[in-house]
Amino acid sequence: MAVITVERKPLTLAERTYLPQIVGGLMTTFRHLVAKKTTLEYPEQRPAIPAGYRGVPTLVRDPNGREKCVSCQLCEFVCPPKAIRITPGEVPADQTDRAHVEKGPQAFDIDMLRCIYCGLCQEVCPEEAIFLQNQFSMSGYTRAEMVNHKDKLYELGGTLPDQHYKWDKKLEAEKHGNAH
Task: Select 26 or 99, whichever has its Cβ closest to other proteins.
Answer: 26
Q: Which residues contact 128 (CB under 8 A, 6 or more apart)?
A: 60, 68, 160, 162, 164
21 vs 95 by CB, closer to other proteins: 21
Minimum distance of other proteins from residue 36's CB (angstroms): 8
Measured CA to CA, the distance from residue 140 to residue 58 in angstroms comes to 17
Residue list 89-148, contact with other proteins (CB under 8 A): none
Contacts of 133 (CB under 8 A, 6+ apart): 53, 55, 56, 57, 58, 156, 157
Query: Position 36: which residue type?
Result: K
Within 16-75, the residues that bind other proteins by CB under 8 A are 22, 25-26, 28-30, 32-39, 41
Give the CB-side neighbour count of residue 158, counting CA atoms within 13 A.
7
Instruction: Specify which residues 107 forms β-bridges with.
Output: 87
- How many chain residues interact with other proteins (CB under 8 A)? 15
Least separation, in Å, of the C-beta of 22 and other proteins? 6
Cβ-based nearer residue to other proteins, 6 or 34: 34
Instruction: Catalog residues that contact other proteins under the rule CB under 8 A.
Output: 22, 25-26, 28-30, 32-39, 41
